[in-house]
Structure 1
Amino acid sequence: MVTYDLFNLNKNDDELLKKLIESSSNSRVYVLLMSLPDVRRCLLLAARLGMTSREYLYIVPDIEGSVSTNRSPWQFNETDDMAAKKAFQTVMFINIQRPVSSDFSDLLKRLNQQMYGSDVSKYVTSTYSDEEENVNQSSIMAQQHILSGYYNAFMIYLTAVNETLAEGKNISDGIRLVDRMGNRTYVGKTGVIQIDYEGNRVINFSFSDMIDEENGTFEDVVWYIDLTGQINTKLGYSQFWPAGEGYVKDIPDCGYLHELCQSDTSDTTVAVSCGIVACILAMSIGITVVLRIRYNTLKRDLYWWKINLDEMQPIKNNLTKSTFSSGFYHMSKLFAYNQSATNATESSVASNGIYLYKGNMVRLNPLCDTNIHVTQSLLTEFDQIRDINHSNLQRVLGAMLEGDRKMIVTEYCHKGTLQEILMDTKYTLDSVFIFSILSDIVKALTFLNKHPLRVHGRLTSDVCMIDSRFSVKIACYGLPTIYDHIKLQNKNQSLEKDLLWVAPELLRHGGNPTPQGDVYSLAIIMSEMLTRDEPYSNDKESLTLKELVEKIKSYQDPPYRPTVSTTPELMTMESLMRKCWDEDPEKRPSLHSIHSIINKLMVNVNKSGGLVDNLLQRLEKYSSNLEKIVDEKVDELRQEKQKSEELLKQMLPASVADRLKAGLTVEPEFYDCVTIYFSDIVGFTVICSQLTPVQIINLLNDLYSCFDEIIGNYDVYKVETIGDAYMVVSGLPTRNGNEHASQIAKMSLALLRSVSNFTIRELSKEKLKLRIGLNSGPVCAGVVGLKMPRYCLFGDAVNTASRMESNGVEFKIHMSSSTTSILTKFYKFVIESRGVVDIKGKGLMETFWLLGEDQQSENPV
């Protein structure tokens, strides 16, 4: 890239520094067309910026002959000579070869006498300073070189005239004269002069390089013969370019801003080393130069905002769910509509979006539009907001804009948005609180108005974030490339809702946001604070959102605005609000005047104490209210816990449920002897054929509710119900000796009596025929399954009890000999032998009928 930049060198160093910084982003080879003092000044400034490394080359045409008269052109006998010597290592001078004959010296003396008179030393060796003397000598050399050129040109012309006259030709024929002067060689006072066939003088050049870096002396090292194109190099000299490693590249391998190379450990080491050297150099120059270097270094760091997701730690805390929207609530409405983009990040972003970054809580906000790319304008926008650090503006800490995962990282605000606070009835908003919030918003807008951003342009109650100290932090400022592009790509109802805060003149004619537009948006927020409701909430039921916007845009008299009613102490605020939403933007008060009015209002309502005192009282009131809410929630939690425990005990034995609640395992347990009850309804299939499914469920529910109420009077545990089958056991999980047989027997008699009185609602004449079977014996019991766990019994005693039921008769209790043995040995029951019965899977068994309980007999049957 070739760039020509004209610059007034009489300006201060700041302007020259600015030019150097701008050029470093697209150049590495410079041609300095300036005097030697200005070259020296420019190189010293370049050294401050780190622009005199081996990847830079400065070519200086030495028209004045500075190197010819002074082989150390950097030396001005100043304190910064050493720095200048180092900077001049990247310089290569281009010199016009000057004649060294005695005739040329005589000619110069004659020219000096014509220019300065007889006393030449008066002008050449006067009382100049070292720098002025160098300038004076160079200036004289330049004048002599120019005058010698005029002398040669005139002598060549006279030679052509004399030759033309000698041939008797007309000297007024200019074409003939020009033809005679070209393509020939002249010998004059200044040496041999060659003119090519086009009439141009063949000039030989030499290149001077600092071959002795220790002493800093320049010498001619390369000579260029224009006529033949031949290049001659000084004997033993092989380092033509200052870099010493080949020619200097116009575009470095790593790019102008090092964007084409990935930094590694070695790069870091080099950078640290360079930083140490730069600091040492800066200390010698002074604190002013150090600050200037720091400023320019930061200015060039255009990618300060880049953040890697690996640098952050997700915070998975249920306490953050209530403020999930905090930090980017408003713009999340823009981001949530491209599900394909948000889903791509769900696997890598915490569900609540809250992360820990460099010790601070931050909010990650996924961008729904993946077509956002890093451009020069976006870099400029990030640079604009980089140094914004205001107590009422939410800081943008960085962004991730690579690949499909595009996010913006912002400061985290614990309390959510202002709109959430206004809608939450648990917050009490007094006048001091309202004016304090309003003051914070105005402070932020005033700051932006003085900043290069000038305006916010997207102000709503949704972008007013509330931090843990109830201070307002406005979000979504700046970065129009991102925000406006997202709005353009995602036109939907939620985005159109934001138009309710936009000034009518901007709705009608569009254009860029204005400070007057922000004042109008502030007025709409005031209406929300006075009504504690969304703007135009009274009209939203009768008008669509589009119709509301059209009414705002229309020229009505009076203009269409939200309906507001307020208290006497807020009448002044209402008056200010109406001025702020005036139809004429020029009649709206300025942010400065609004700030003054709000400060006066705060003084009037805050006579009882300072703002800090009121803030502490407000926080104390909120804390007390929060404690009350916490107590209520804890009480609700306690009640729900009790319900859960009761439900668990209905599903499992109490002792088993207690072990599960304690986090203990329930191991299977063996019981020597328990009594098991099985029952079913004879002819249940026939009954079901006469009922609908719902009626069948109602029948079983009525029957089992009756059974459940009865078994609660006995030491038994209901195992399960399957259809019309009902299973109960006694003797586990709490052992009760031999009482289990008596408890089951008494319960069975009670259930049999209840069935005789049970009526089916849909079949009042139909009677349920209950059939019961009992057996006693050893079993193993334990909890089976993780989902819907069941307390199950295993063992041959369970199968035998089931066989007793299936081989029984309706309205009778069929028992095995094991149960009968326990009952006849210890208890008074009426038992009758059924005889020997062939039981499936068991063979021949003697079984018994339990007929009742003998209340009068003193001895067992």
Structure 2
Amino acid sequence: MLGAPGAWTLLPSAPQIPSCWGHPQPGHPFPKIPSCRRAPEPGHPLPNPPTLESLRAWTPLPQNLCVLETPRTQAPRPQSPPQGGPPELGHPLPTAAAAAASPDGAVANLTVAVVLPERNVSYAWAWPRVEPALSLALEALQRGEPPLLPRPFSVRVEFMSSELGGACSEYVAPLKAVDLKLYHDPDVLFGPGCVYPAASVGRFASHWRLPLITAGAVAVGFSEKREHYRTTVRTGPSAPKLGAFVSHLHAHFNWSSRAALLYVDRKTDDRPYYFTIEGVFQELQDGSNLTVRHHIYSPDEGGADTAIHFIKASGRVVYLCGPPEMLRRIMQLAQRENLTNGDYVFFYVDVFGESLRGDSARDAFKPWQQGPGQDSGLREAFQTVLVITYYEPQNPEYQHFQTQLILRAKQKFGVQLNYSLMNLVAGCFYDGVLLYAMVLNETLREGGSKKNGAPPLDNPPCVFDVDDPSCDKTPLSTLAIVALGTGLTFVMFGISSFLIFRKLMLEKELASMLWRIRWDELHFGSAERYHKGAGSRLTLSLLGDEGGSLRLCGHGGWYPGERGRVRGCPASRRCPFPPPQMRDIQFNHLTRFIGACIDPPNICIVTEYCPRGSLQDILENESINLDWMFRYSLINDIVKGMAFLHNSIIGHHGSLKSSNCVVDSRFVLKITDYGLASFRSPCDGEDTHALYAKKLWTAPELLQKGRLPPQGMQKADVYSFGIIVQEIALRNGPFYIEGMDLSPKEIVQKVRNSQKPFFRPSIDIGVHSEELAVLMERCWAQEPAERPDFGQIKIFIRRFNKEGSTSILDNLLSRMEQYANNLEKLVEERTQAYLEEKRKAENLLYQILPHSVAEQLKRGETVRAEAFDSVTIYFSDIVGFTALSAESTPMQVGSPVCAGVVGLKMPRYCLFGDTVNTASRMESNGQALKIHVSSTTKEVLDEFGCFELELRGDVEMKGKGKMRTYWLLGERKDPKVV
């Protein structure tokens, strides 16, 4: 053994106190506390070893609860690993006992199941931390150090992760434990370490009478052995042991009155601080009869002030349990309130020594610092703080174990572990393996079994009591034999007659061809030509005589009198499920088989048509809002349909996908394209994008065969269902993977390769519930045997989907109401878009035409021409612009513009008449930077009396002759002129 689990040590936090704990300093409130350790018995590796009866009943091992240092127990001598390197977990591992111990050379199998977090190494019981410890323990058993197993054993370790979203999950852990029990039937179970998962698994283990060994599960409730946790054994430190340690402190210092507990309790995680301090509270209140008050520390503003008021009113002995930030904040306020003068003592429960800023509890510690070299001024305040941590064994055997643990974690998992107190938990798992081997050794030595520890019966039935009438094996009489033979003959004759009659009836029904549909009864094109709405739209895939596709997949058509969907198929009487049997399948969540056309080369099958389209179409339509009630209804419909299909004569689907789930006019989801696997043929060629896109729902065991077989498997349907559930939950398409842009072909190849970690879609607990994530992970498990059937899925969904208990009518009405609300919202959005476009068009029209003219055009009126008696027309021109443009490059002349076309023709508002022509001629005869006006305009300006004009003279105007014109020089600023 590496060391006695459950030992605690008390460390002063101030640097003036030497690292050798227990020696007082001047002014320090604590004298030296004597050790109460007990010496181990001679020749036994454990102090006060448990009896065989207590171990066989799987009661907790008695531990030294009041020690301040742990006994140095004898550990196995470290040796070099055997040739060939350490054995891999998950493969048979021979043990140390010689083959001669078993005369017949038989090897018994021992299965060890492990349920722990797989990746998050912030847990002390994470798999990368514990797996090396289990390997070292099994290698020690293999070498026979200590010699615990009396005969050869083949040990197999089966591991499953209890992790979901990077944290311990109380939903995943029991499911994994059930899977391990169902598919591997283990002899012993290790883990979980988190409290809530361990509670669920512990109840299962008690029901199965299966020993559960863990170095975690610190809560007080696991001490209850009579009912829920009869088979649970904790080899590591626990909250009751911490409580006993604190109780001993109070008894030694004669603190018999009051105590205050201040702790952090986050109910969103596994509540580690709450369950750690729980043992202290229970032991002090119930065992020591103290007045114990407790308070939950809040990190919000004002939470620390409230905590200080609580400490003042509760007691002078204070226990703190929380992150280091809480300790620094409390001590900062305690120093401000003068609580650090020696009248108060603060115990900080830090089991892994995180506040000591060192690799282990014996290293240098500066818990008052916020960072390296960042002294917060609390050095004096921390003189009254003592830190309670796990005690780290100092023997060389444990140090060698810790070195090997870190080395193997780096080699196998790529995880860099530190020399820390967290490694003590892995050592407790190491001890757990040896303890189990010890109990198994003594049980087998007394003639017991590894199951239940029961010895063989001393008086088996029908062995010694041969006179018992129930053991009479007298041969049957001749008459009885004749009667039995005659009866069997009649039974065989009856069965044969029934089979022959059934075959004849099937042949007769096949001959009558009630299911047959002639090709000329199927119509393709507009439905208005065929009974208006009486017909139904069809989809067609045609195949020739040799099964070659005619590439008509997706053609629309109509079948008079029946709502049907047509799909091509090579019809054959050798099909395992002929059409007469298909017609007998009637269920609300399966599309109805109508018939088949076998007129070569037009061979197809006709099934019920659902006008709402496929589930894939609905999920990809962003205008349809699906709340979770609606989504769970769709999932329930799939589960009901597949459960019925798996229990029918068909037995499986084989090609379940969201495009094969259709929705009828009443929003009821139905499964289509089931059965008649040999009749169906895909319309997509080999190695095409569409072909791989249809394989995104296919299970890996079917992908590895290269092509889908005619007959699928039920577990493959469960895998496809898991992909559909992820598609419904996230609405990002099938097999959505966050942060990765892979083609369907790349995804299918990764799934087919089946390399660990197995390639699966993304899960987002922020979008859907944790229970739904668990369901998806179980459905797309790599091993088909680990996937639940649809009966189990139906029960699982019913547990967390409370809305699923409503009646079909209520559910339907709710669906119709939601659909109507969606339509109203859609109409409102389209109306707003129309009004916005109308406003833009009117603004453009007002920019092109005068407002009065635009209003007449909007009203559909004719715009009449107008005559104006007196107007002034202004023309402006840039002199020399043409010459400047000719001498410049296009980039020097041009600039960005915005262009658009309004209507089919460009609208314009034209001015015409002699006045316009005159103004144009004057503009062409003008000069740069001068305003050229006519004599008529000069007369108008003279009426104002404030403009300065200069006579230019008579100018020859084209088409006008000579005209007298003037230059407009400016405006006179005469204050007398109004």
> What TM-score range do you get, normalising by the shorter chain?
0.3 to 0.5
Q: Which has the larger radius of gyration?
A: 1
- Give the TM-score normalised by structure 1: 0.43
Report 1 or 2 for greater relative contact order, CA contacts < 8 Å, sequence distance ≥ 6: 2
| Structure with the higher fraction of residues in strand conformation | 1
Higher helix share: 1
Under a length normalisation based on structure 2, what TM-score does the superposition of the two structures give?
0.38
